[in-house]
Structure 1
Amino acid sequence: MAADRYEALHAAFRWQVPADFNIAEACCGRWARDTPKATAVYFDSESGCRAQYSYAQLQRAANRLSNALLNQGVRRGHRVAIVLPQRFETAVAHVAIQQIGAVAMPLSLLFGAEALEYRLQDSGAVLAIAACDALPALREARGRCPALRRVIVVGECPVDCDELPWMEALQAEEARFQRVVTRADDPAILIYTSGTTGNPKGALIPQRALVGNLSGFIASQNWFGFDPFHIERPSDAVFWSPADWAWTGGLMDALLPTLYFGRPIVAYQGRFSAAKAFELMAGYGVTHAFLFPTALKAMMKAEPNPSRHGLKLQALMSAGEAVGDAVFGWCRDALGVPVNEMFGQTEMNYVVGNCQALWPARPGSMGRAYPGHRVAVIDDDGHECAPGQVGEVAVHARDRHGAPDPVFFLGYWNNEAATQAKFTGSPADSWCRTGDLARMDADGTLWYEGRADDVFKSAGYRIGPGEIENCLLKHEAVANAAVVPKPDAERGALVKAYVVLADGHAGDAALVEALQAHVKARLAPYEYPKEIEFIAALPMTTTGKVQRRVLRLQEQQRAAQAA
């Protein structure tokens, strides 16, 4: 059992954020100069293609892309969409965009045309870097995105006359580039997050947010030497996570922090499977990983004796949903690595969790605030709750020493009202609400109690009902719709839709399939309703708002009765 150094670590911790900070320099530039031959990315794929890239190769490719972006009219502050899977070019794109002071906007390959169109329109993205797989949906959306000037295509596939192949774009440019100077508060990344109602909101992430992520990353990966107050990165560390690099979990919890410490990350382009997970970890000597509970459950069921793979795993982080006692025990006993659970949001990521090397974890808990973050459970009026009282998890804009916490987002893109509503007062000096309910023990340990709103997690994906409901309402057979989570042992929850039919339509199996296909074609595959129930009327408040809570509780009661 680890000694509990939690309080001493927090008391001694101070943020050290330089006035000038650039993610490209921190994650690549300095390593390309100091350790140019060190491996940055191991690439592996379902097709059998494998490659290894150094930090010098990453820097040269990024320099060429930065020059190409400037020649395409991209300037400082412009938004550039990245619609790519885990691969070397994705890392290149992020470094190149940061070098010119533009804003990277990662988008999932799973997005359909409608999901892409909204984000491209709302952000005013001027250029997209996309994989061949994303082209059909991107081409469909592009005609309604007037700001989008050009698409750079990664991969071997036919391109339209106004699309530019990746290799052609890079080969025409010099491998030298002088990056711009950016301030720590300058915008760096725009990530869209699903909300309860309406369209997704774009969270604008500053350069400094990467620094704000580091204390949590270090703690959750047990990257400490004998003296916990001096960070030591393991010289043999190799990182891997199946988390999509288009999401906060894959980008800010895996790719960027790994590169920040000059270590290699494994990029796997393909579908997740338990067998492949063990193969990758064994083959590349993975020492540190981030695995969703859903992935860990699949691995636990598939492999009762993981020791036969000769894994080198030293630390493991999990997030997205509760791990549970069974998985926690399997990680500890079968993998030989107790899992460090973590909690965070796109707006302020990596703020709560565990570090088995420095303080004992309690299975089933969310953990405690990571160093540098001030976390509390608050009531509706913004006051801190007593120990054991259920309230909303909140993170203060300033740490316990009164210094600004660098992890915070700059605000929602073109949505000042939503930004203000996120805080209890001034965004510079107040609590920021997470929308998650929990209770806190006297020692700061948090225990999850559910969502304060209607957002939920399914297989690690954050599902906002608003976008799915809006999509369903565009079908002629739908008069109204409400989306809620249906409890599921494997995924945590399934997406379920309650649908009120329009006049003249029958709720049969054929319509269920049609509605599912309707959503699949426009949004991401993980968002389509796995189950649809037709209902005469939705439960409503007196002011005409859908009471999703009533339907959610109904699903919970049905699940309990079935069990």
Structure 2
Amino acid sequence: MARSAHLDTFAADNLPPRDLWPEFVNLDRLGYPERMNCAVELVDRNVEEGRGDKLALVSPSERWTYGELAGKINRIANVLVDRFGLKPGNRVLLRFPNTPMMTAVYFAILKAGGIVVATMPLLRAKELAVITDKAELSFAICDHRLKEEMELTRSRTSRLETVLYSGSRSPDALEALMEAASPEFAACDTAADDVCLLGFTSGTTGEPKATMHFHRDMLAICDCYSREILRPVESDVFIGSPPLAFTFGLGGLVLFPFRVGATAILLERAGPDDLIKAIPEMRPSVVFTAPTAYRAILAKRGDADLSSLRKCVSAGEALPKATWDDWLAATGIRILDGIGATEMLHIFIAAREEDVRPGATGKPVPGYEAKVIGPDGKEVPDGTPGRLAVRGPTGCRYLADSRQTKYVIDGWNVTGDTYIRDAEGYFWYQARSDDMIVSSGYNIAGPEVEGTLLAHPAVAECGVVGAPDPDRGRIVKAYVVLKPGVTGDATLVKTLQDYVKAELAPYKYPRAIEFVDILPRTETGKLQRFALREIAASESDTRAAPPAAS
């Protein structure tokens, strides 16, 4: 490893021991130097190569060129260093919707040698406090519209100095501080393997894990998946639904377009209705979203003009073949399915348009290797279901977390997904291997929702699993045993749903609640979630079955 630029050694001190890292393969093919700053490579390089006047970022209210973006990044970096004393290796919490300013702040932190900890706007103070403590954060930059949960977070954890992007002329607001700062900034001389991003992901227990990513990783996903599979060009315009705090959104809406000098459209609200409106108006050519959104767009599009699109990427959950077929019939575009992971930073199995097999996820992205393993860790024959294992130029490094040994086995990243590989090398998704619920592209830990419900005074016991749903793939369903004297009715269902929404990000709330007398348990009292999943699946099958003939 090259000499680190970090004066704050927290990240380096909390990397897993080297013998617990996955094996990084094919890095030499990418040819990265020992020292690099990814902000320079992804933004400044575009200015140096003559794209300073090219549009980099577009929103409904803003249009920034690469030159303008670079200047804002430099001003923010100067504010961070000169006003707030940011030192290389310091972690900075980001609280923003998808906006050009979030992108500028993100790259300013990277350029100054800091480490980004981006959080989804929907997270509540309870969740933010856990992230703050785990990453030992002392500084945050927050959009003023999200300040309420930020203030609650500060009351739950150690002091967290916060600067607001306020949309006002307040002298303490970020934009006022930027005006007084220089538009010139010399990038921190970071090593390619200095940590620059802590990407938090839910564990199956609900305790978040922080995945650690290097400057070189930010480029590797561009030079593997994007260059080899997506194959964008400078004239492309990107749009999509995932938050930039998701690495799926970070790659698809910022890193990939910037790597080729293309343009990114950022929408604060990007549900299917918003995309149906924005695509005809803003004319993007590449879209990133989840299978549920493609289904919803097909159902709602009416006569909306989607003809500007030429590339459509799906990830976050399995893409049903019916959705792929219907989208092709309606648009003539072959959706590019893929599987990625926060631990790997982005997609590692996919297929180019000409190689797509409808229903299959694809083959390993060039630079990556994948196999299917059995309970003993050995590779199983083609056609046999087993756990997916992958390795490549990116891989899992958890921040001070014993779960490193569960994700990385014998140098391979074992993702928690069950797959089958066919004789031609295509990988076919079967199911999650753990208690994670994937709903509309969001990862939701069932035990975390259980823990929140159990804190309600009406709840004696509960079990939370994913139930099949035609629109979302899965929904969160709770089986609840009530305390004596409590009546389960529609009012209590809403009360419990609102209770979860107040404590956790709203997308985690149970969309279905069933009151039961007893939960399935082992002889030792352990909740049998697999049994609840079977019940949820059978109930779904019953609802879907046609009525019997009379």
Q: TM-score, normalised by structure 1?
A: 0.87
Asked if 1 retains the 8 angstrom alpha-carbon contact of 2:229 and 2:365, the reply is no
Residue 267 of structure 2 corresponds to which residue in structure 1?
268
Compute the displacement of 1:305 (Å).
5.3
Q: Is 1:83–1:134's contact at 8 Å kept on the other side of the alignment?
A: yes
Specify the alignment match of 1:553 in structure 2. 534
Q: 1:83–1:129: 8 Å Cα contact kept in structure 2?
A: yes
CA RMSD of aligned residues (A): 2.2
Give runs of aligned pairs for residues 75-114 of structure 1, distance below 5 A: 75-114=87-126
Deviations along 1:90-145, whole A, 9 cap, x unmatched?
A: 11011101011111111111112211121112211221121223111111111222
Checking the alignment, whether the CA contact within 8 Å between 2:384 and 2:421 is kept in structure 1 is: yes
1:139-178, aligned counterparts within 5 Å?
A: 139-148=151-160, 150-156=161-167, 164-178=172-186
Say if 2:340 is the partner of 1:344: yes
Please name the residue that 1:406 is paired with.
Answer: 393
Q: 1 CA distance for matches of 2:292 and 2:156?
A: 37
Change (3 A) 1:158 1:174: closer
The SS at the match of 1:33 is: helix
The alignment status of 1:424 with 2:409, answered yes or no, reads: yes
Verify: 1:125 aligned to 2:137, yes or no.
Answer: yes
| Matching residue's letter, 1:152 | V
What is the deviation of 1:173? 1.5
Correspondences of 1:309-348 after superposition (within 5 Å): 309=305, 311-348=307-344
Cα distance change of structure 1 residues 310 and 120 upon mapping to structure 2, 3 Å threshold: closer
Paired residue total: 516
Which residue of structure 2 lines up, in the alignment, with residue 47 of structure 1?
Answer: none
Asked if structure 1 preserves the Cα contact closer than 8 Å seen for 2:341 and 2:415, the reply is: yes
Matched, 1:248 2:247: yes
1:397-421 residue CA offsets vs partner (Å, 9 max, x unmatched):
xxxxxxxx32213x22221x11122
1:370 aligns with 2:382: no
What amino acid sits opposite 1:272 in the alignment?
G
Corresponding residue for 1:23? 38
CA distance in 1, matches of 2:186, 2:538: 60
The answer for the alignment partner of 1:196 in structure 2 is 204
Which residue does the alignment assign to 2:227? 218
Tell me how far 1:22 sits from its aligned partner: 1.8
Structure 2 equivalent of residue 523 of structure 1? 504
- Give 2:351's match in structure 1, choosing from 346, 349, 354: 354
2:26·2:393 contact (CA, 8 Å) conserved in 1? no
Distance 1:82 1:13 in 2: 33
Alignment of 1:391-540 (within 5 A): 391-396=386-391, 405-409=392-396, 411-415=397-401, 417-425=402-410, 430-540=411-521
Using the alignment, how far apart are the partners of 1:101 and 1:11 within structure 2? Answer: 26
Quote the offset at 1:147 in angstroms: 4.5
Query: How far, CA to CA, are the matches of 1:544 and 1:20 in structure 2?
Result: 54
- The alpha-carbon deviation at position 184 of structure 1 amounts to 1.8
Structure 1 unaligned regions, length at least 5: 1-9, 45-49, 224-232, 397-404
Partner of 2:75: 64
**Does the 8 Å CA contact 2:436/2:445 hold for their aligned counterparts?**
yes
Q: Distance in 1 between matches of 2:297 and 2:146?
A: 29
Structure 2 partner of 1:258: 257
Instruction: Give the C-alpha shift of residue 157 in structure 1.
Output: 6.7
1:293 aligns with 2:291: yes
Which whole-Å deviations, capped at 9, do the CAs of 1:49-81 have from their partners, x for residues lacking one? Answer: x22101111111111111111221322212111
Deviation of residue 493 (structure 1)?
1.1
Question: What whole-Å deviation, never above 9, does each CA across 1:468-499 have from its counterpart, x for those lacking one?
Answer: 22222222222332210111100111111122
Which amino acid in 2 is paired with 1:218? R
Alignment partners' CA distance in 2, 1:546 and 1:140: 33
Structure 1 outlier segments of 4+, above 4 Å: 10-13
TM-score by length of 2: 0.89
Render the CA deviation track for 1:376-426: whole Å, top value 9, x for unaligned: 111111111100000001113xxxxxxxx32213x22221x111221113x
- 1:38 is aligned to 54
